[in-house]
Amino acid sequence: MSQKKINAPKGTRDLYPEDLLRQQYITNAWRDAAIRCGFDEIAGPTFETTELYAVKSGEGILGELFQAFSGKSPKEVERVKETGQAEFALRPEFTPTLARMYAARAKELPQPCKWFTAGPYFRAERPQRGRLREFLQWNVDAIGMPADDNSTENRARMDAEVIECMVRMFEDLGLIADALTIKLNDRNAMAAFFASLGVTGDQLEDAFNLLDRQAKLPTDALRTQAQDANLPEPFIAFLTKADPSTLPDLDASDLDSVCSVCSVVEIDRWIARDHTIARGLAYYTGTVFEAIAEGERAVAGGGRYDNLIELFGGPPTPACGFGMGDVVLGNLLDDKGLMPSGAELMDAVSRPQASIRPVAFVVPNGDEANEPLVHSLVANLRRGIESEPWKSRDDRKPWDSDRYSVAPVHARVSYKSTRNIKKLRSDAERQHARYFVEIHADNKVELTDMDRRESLTSDTHGSFSVDPAAPNYVGAAIAARL
Amino acid sequence: MSQKKINAPKGTRDLYPEDLLRQQYITNAWRDAAIRCGFDEIAGPTFETTELYAVKSGEGILGELFQAFSGKSPKEVERVKETGQAEFALRPEFTPTLARMYAARAKELPQPCKWFTAGPYFRAERPQRGRLREFLQWNVDAIGMPADDNSTENRARMDAEVIECMVRMFEDLGLIADALTIKLNDRNAMAAFFASLGVTGDQLEDAFNLLDRQAKLPTDALRTQAQDANLPEPFIAFLTKADPSTLPDLDASDLDSVCSVCSVVEIDRWIARDHTIARGLAYYTGTVFEAIAEGERAVAGGGRYDNLIELFGGPPTPACGFGMGDVVLGNLLDDKGLMPSGAELMDAVSRPQASIRPVAFVVPNGDEANEPLVHSLVANLRRGIESEPWKSRDDRKPWDSDRYSVAPVHARVSYKSTRNIKKLRSDAERQHARYFVEIHADNKVELTDMDRRESLTSDTHGSFSVDPAAPNYVGAAIAARL
């Protein structure tokens, strides 16, 4: 037997025990936040047919992928020898798999269908800081609409809930809104604005691609590329001179709706509108967003993709989601001193995860009930209450065991249009919720233990009312009774 | 945009929420048992260079693999077009990665180095029940020897600890020794026996391969293949007539040692010697074992591979480990009614996992200390104490929240040869153990809280002695004080 020293493939990682714990610290935070926000975890194959990626992104994508074939199948080997293209590809992203999985069961799935996944992805790129050939990615998506109603209000609600999930995760890791901004834009409004500058429908993809690269390319290169694509001069003037801090005259009504829901769930301080956010990918429609850390590092990106499920053979289905990799996030935590080590890391990774069963299922009781209060309460339950206001890493560590006076829990709302309390209760039962929380018109809260089928707002526990101005304390009051 | 319905690649899985929870129920059990038995989790790349697999298994292996290449690299595309062989392969197993990772850091790693990993693997096979093209596998390995001493005693100790880890996992899932047997054999003893039948060194691999397939092939085919390989007639007579229940005249001393340690940690009822267990792979040396369920289903397999680390460029290093897939195990749990569903499944998967920090670090204090008692106590801590004896699934469910009166915990021993209590204590500190447990010569137990640096065997907690005949109760006594 001859000795041979072989290295790991370039751009992949050998994770020794502490390396893996650091990665698990991140994936635990991903899972915990997604579960608390009511997303169900799913998983797909590590490789798919190359056809699946070509459907979404065209044949050009194949040059960006690791391609794979069965060495056992003469047919597959023959094909790759003839064409240089293989039957399969290691997945570079999750969205095509998600769309395929949703389309296959569209009829039986709930509306909306809230899914997340965390697993390995692969890109045939030159490895560099923040970019590897194999990395983990967290995907969080809401597919379909509450009560099957694709209204502006419902789209805003789903956009905001997906963004809320990302914010809960940042909060858990001790990141604060100063360190990271979620920049928001509206592709529809931008498209209308571009049209007013003379951009035709055929040129829209080029226009968004150039906008996406605006910060990365020098002005001269931007101008040359825009001219090569025959884009009109008013657009080129906007592209090359536009100051990211001043907004063009856009229709802001859709983003106004999103920001309004973000205020209710108290994540508005994380949000900033920015008309340079384009998301290069052609499939985005409506809201797009990117989480940008200091130094313009993009930590996550996503948006609304209302046409994609149909493209994969499903019914027309609005959808919204984002992806976040572990490499850039890990670098950011390191830079901020927010990554534990040694025994603290071991304890942090060992901490119990959020309950997969919903702990609280919160509904309005009756037409007069305070609906925004329902959402604000749910947000507070998902977020928990910190022992003291979170300021900076110097005072405390996010993994301190006494961080929360009220621990964050898995809380859900009903997406059904009904106000019938029996129907809402069976929705909670179907989702195996532990406690049913009704908000009455007088802001009074009623709690039911669904396993024991008994009310907790009896004399023993005391019923209580909500001060809509201080929902924080109501979250605590509910949590204290659970 | 044209609608297109694309399916998942054959032999892969789309895991919808409840499907994934079922898989997580299994992977949680894997992690929990491995952590409690003191194994550290690691992870490697999903694909490796094809060279890595060829080193261990020869070029022939490439036809069994999914091969991969970067579609972006003209060199890699050219190579695959010319040769039909690609630069990389999706990993079919973990051992080559493990050997590579160990070899790269051999000098700085502890002795023994106890590692586990759980992730996706890939085989270019025809999918069938229990066999998919993408599946999860749990790998548990102990590399190197306690006190760097490759004695029969130490080999037996490591073999038994790896097997113990597997048994703890079966116990957690509610499997009992009646449903599953870990069949044990010794390749060295078998090789000596084969030599006595006239098998030459060159023929040994063929002989083991045929033994491995003995149960699967009809007698005629066995005979023909053995004759084709020019194996001697006495071997063929053994191969074709041997009754698995009668042992040939083997040197049983090494297996005796393994079984003796298995008795100390009370897993002996799971073990049966079986001279038909061969493990086809050429790299096994010494002990080999397979966990066989009813219907001759192999749930797991492994053994000692003392030459492999060297083959991958590391120093000569004895090692032992096993692999277990999620598919056959999942089928077994389904068949036995041992897989929860609905709210019970959600609760079972949400349950806290074993502490990654060792809870108890147990050492003998002084040369006269009762060493087997140390190992028996550690085994009891890792196993916990059930509220009532576990019999069958009809009475209770393994996921019942009141299953244990004393919950299983992560317990470790020192593998150093020293009896110096200060050195043992710094070993415990280096591993971030929470409690230090000393067993004195009089079987008296002394507990120290390592975080608070205070003895717990004070007047408040009461010191206590051990009855070696009833270590179960001592495990409880220790656990009650933690």
Q: Please give the pLDDT value at position A478.
A: 63
Task: Point out the residue among A24, A68, A134 whose CB comes nearest to the CB of B45.
Answer: A134
The 8-class DSSP code of residue B148 comes to: G
pLDDT at residue A191 greater than cutoff 50 = yes
Segment A441-468, tens digit of pLDDT: 888 888 888 888 777 664 444 455 666 5
Phi and psi, residue A379, nearest 5°: -60, -40
Collapsing DSSP to helix, strand or coil, B330 comes out as: helix
Report residue A247's pLDDT band, with 50, 70 and 90 as the boundaries: low
Q: What is the pLDDT of residues A125-163, one digit of tens each?
A: 888 888 899 999 999 999 999 998 999 999 999 999 999
**Does residue B64 belong to the interface with chain A, where contact is any CB pair within 8 Å?**
yes
How would residue A3 be classed by pLDDT, with cut points 50, 70 and 90?
Answer: low
Taking the CA of residue B172 and the nearest CA in chain A, the distance in Å comes to: 18
Q: Indicate the range of A24-28, A411-415, B475-479 predicted with least confidence.
A: B475-479
A329-357 average pLDDT score: 96
Contact B72 A125 (CB under 8 A): yes
d(CA B379, CA A211): 62
Q: Which two tokens stand for residue A324?
A: 């976040």
Helix (H, G, I), strand (E, B) or coil at B327: helix
Write down the pLDDT at residue A337.
92
Picking from B62, B356, B434 by the largest number of A CB atoms within 10 A of its own CB, the best residue to mutate is B356
CA distance A382 to B9: 37
> DSSP string of B374-402?
HHHHHHHHHH-EESS----TTT--TT-TT
- Residue A315: CB atoms within 10 Å: 12
Query: What stretches of A22-158 adopt beta strand conformation (E)?
Result: 40-41, 47-49, 66-70, 88-90, 113-122, 134-143
> How far is residue B335 from each of residues A377, B294, B329, B340, B393, measured CA to CA in Å?
44, 11, 10, 12, 12
Residue type, A169: M
Give the residue on A whose Cα is nearest the Cα of B126: A72
Rounded Cα distance between B333 and B324, Å, is: 14
Average the pLDDT over A236-253 and give the result.
75
Residue of A nearest to B44 (CA): A14
Query: Are A48 and B9 in contact (CB < 8 Å)?
Result: yes
pLDDT of residue B1: 42
> Is residue A341 within 8 angstroms of chain B, CB to CB?
no
Q: How far apart are CA A207 and CA B118, in angstroms?
A: 45
Helix or strand holding residue A382 (H, E): helix A371-383
Which of A7, A10, A12, A14 to probe the B interface (max B CBs under 10 A)?
A: A14
Q: Determine the pLDDT at residue A460.
A: 43
Q: Which residues lie closer than 8 Å to B353 by C-beta, 6 or more apart?
A: A350, A352, B28, B31, B32, B35
The CA–CA distances, whole Å, from A211 to A225, A236, A298 equal: 11, 10, 15
* A131 touches B: beta carbon within 8 Å: no
Take residue B360 and report the two structure tokens written for it: 């108890």
Does the beta-carbon distance from B347 to A354 stay under 8 Å? no
Residue pLDDT, tens place only, A34-75: 999 999 999 999 999 999 998 777 777 888 999 999 999 999
E strands of A112-189, at which residues? 113-122, 134-143, 180-186
Contact criterion met (CB below 8 Å) for A358 and A410: yes
Which pLDDT belongs to residue A445?
83
pLDDT at B465: 62
Q: How far is CA B38 from CA B141, B369, B381, in A?
A: 11, 22, 12
Q: Is the CA virtual torsion B371, B372, B374, B375 positive or negative?
A: positive
Mean pLDDT across the stretch A7-19?
96
Q: Is the pLDDT of residue A248 over 80?
A: no
Instruction: Write down all domains in chain A, each with its CATH number in brackets.
Output: 11-43+94-353 (3.30.930.10), 47-90 (no CATH), 355-482 (3.40.50.800)
- Count Cβ atoms below 10 Å from residue B75 Cβ, excluding itself: 9
Determine whether the interchain pair B63/A49 forms a contact, defined as Cβ–Cβ distance below 8 Å: no
Predicted local distance difference test score (pLDDT) of residue B60: 74
Taking contacts as CB-CB distances below 8 angstroms, the residues of chain B near A48 are 8-9
A415 interfaces chain B, CB cutoff of 8 Å: no
Confidence of residue A1 (pLDDT cuts 50, 70, 90): very low
User: CB neighbours of A395 closer than 8 A, spacing ≥ 6?
Assistant: none
Cα distances (angstroms) measured from residue A168 to each of A172, A437, B4, B457: 6, 21, 36, 43
Cβ of residue B27 closer than 8 Å to a chain A Cβ: no
A215 — pLDDT class (breaks 50, 70, 90): confident
In this complex, do A101 and B68 lie within 8 Å of one another by their Cβ atoms? no
Strands (E), B46-202: 47-49, 66-70, 88-90, 113-122, 134-143, 180-186
Q: What is the mean pLDDT of each run of 10 residues along chain B (482 residues)?
A: 73 97 98 98 97 81 92 95 95 95 95 97 89 96 94 96 98 89 94 92 90 86 94 90 64 92 94 87 88 90 94 94 97 94 97 95 88 89 82 74 89 94 96 92 84 65 55 60 60
What per-residue confidence (pLDDT) applies to A243? 58
* ipTM value: 0.94
Pick the closest to residue B116 from B141, B135, B143 (CA basis).
B141
CA dist A85 and B13 (Å) reads 24
Residue A227 touches partner B, C-beta closer than 8 Å: no
Q: What is the DSSP letter of B202?
A: G
A203 in Cβ contact with A193 (< 8 Å): no
Alpha carbon distance B106, B100 (integer Å): 10
SS3 track for chain A: CCCCCCCCCCCCCCECHHHHHHHHHHHHHHHHHHHHCCCEECECCCEEEHHHHHHHHCHHHHHHCEEEEECCCHHHHHHHHHHCCCCEEECCCCHHHHHHHHHHCCCCCCCCEEEEEEEEEECCCCCECCECCEEEEEEEEEECCHHHCCCHHHHHHHHHHHHHHHHHHHHHCCCCCCCEEEEEEEHHHHHHHHHHCCCCHHHHHHHHHHHHCCCCCCHHHHHHHHHHCCCCHHHHHHHHHCCCCCCCCCCCHHHHHHHHHHHHCCCHHHEEECCCCCCCCCCCCCEEEEEEEHHHEEEEEEEECCCHHHHCCCCCCCEEEEEEEHHHHHHHHHHCCCCCCHHHHHHHHHCCCCCCCCCEEEEECCCCCCHHHHHHHHHHHHHCEECCCCCCCCCCCCCCCCCEEECCCCEEECCCCCCCHHHHHHHHHHCCCCEEEEECCCCEEEEEECCCCEECCCCCCCCEECCCCCHHHHHHHHHHHC
Task: Give the per-residue pLDDT at A4.
Answer: 61
Q: Above pLDDT 70, what percent of chain A?
A: 91
Contact state of B5 with A88 under an 8 Å Cβ cutoff: no
Contact (CB, 8 A) for A360 and A449:
no
B-chain CB neighbours of A55 within 8 Å are 4, 6
pLDDT at A241 over 80: no
CA distance B442 to B385: 24
Output the CA angle A46-A51-A52, nearest 5 degrees. Answer: 55
A240 to chain B, closest Cα gap in Å: 31
Q: How far apart are CA A67 and CA A57, in angstroms?
A: 15
Say whether the peptide bond before residue B112 is cis (omega within 30 degrees of 0). yes
Any CB–CB contact under 8 A between B341 and chain A? no
Using the beta-carbon criterion (under 8 Å), do B73 and A124 form an inter-chain contact? Answer: yes
Q: How many CB atoms lie within 10 A of CB B236?
A: 19
pLDDT tens digits, one per residue of A361-370: 999 998 888 8
What is the per-residue pLDDT for B462?
Answer: 45
